[in-house]
Amino acid sequence: MSILVVGSVAFDSVETPFGKVEEVLGGSATYFSTSASFFTDVRLVAVVGEDFPPEHLNFLRSRNIDLAGLQVSAGATFRWQGRYGFDLNEAHTLDTRLNVLESFRPELPEGYEEAEYVFLANIDPELQLDVLKKVRRPRLIACDTMNFWIEGKREALLKTLRNVDIFLLNEGEARQLAAEPNLIKAARIILAMGPRTVVIKRGEYGVLMVTEHAIFSAPAYPLESVFDPTGAGDTFAGGFMGYLAATRDEGDAAVRKAIVFGSVMASFTVEDFSLERLRTLSYPQIEERYRKFKLLTEFEGIEEV
The half-sphere exposure of 181 on its side-chain side, counting CA atoms within 13 A, is 0
**Mean pLDDT score of the chain:** 94
The candidate with the shortest Cα–Cα distance to 272, out of 113, 34, 47, 3, is: 34
Taking only the tens place, the pLDDT of each residue in 105-143 is 999 999 999 999 999 999 999 999 999 999 999 999 999
Among 83-87, 171-175, 228-232, name the one with the lowest average pLDDT. 83-87
The dihedral region occupied by 130, where left means phi > 0, alpha psi between -120 and 50, and beta the remainder, is alpha
The candidate with the shortest Cα–Cα distance to 223, out of 257, 264, 261, is: 264
Beta-bridged to residue 220, according to DSSP, are none
Write down all domains in the chain, each with its CATH number in brackets: 3-296 (3.40.1190.20)
Which pLDDT does position 206 carry in this prediction? Answer: 93
Average pLDDT over residues 225-241: 94
The pLDDT > 90 percentage for the chain reads 87
How many Å apart are CA 3 and CA 244, to the nearest integer?
10
The pLDDT > 70 percentage for the chain reads 98
The candidate with the shortest Cα–Cα distance to 266, out of 85, 88, 24, 8, is: 88
Q: Quick one: pLDDT band at residue 301, thresholds 50, 70, 90?
A: low
Taking only the tens place, the pLDDT of each residue in 91-100 is 888 999 999 9
The residue type at 159 = K
Contact in structure between 305 and 55 (CB atoms under 8 Å): no
Question: How far from 169 is each of 120, 128, 201, 234, 290, CA to CA, in Å?
Answer: 12, 15, 6, 10, 23
Which pLDDT does position 162 carry in this prediction? Answer: 96
Which pLDDT does position 15 carry in this prediction? Answer: 95
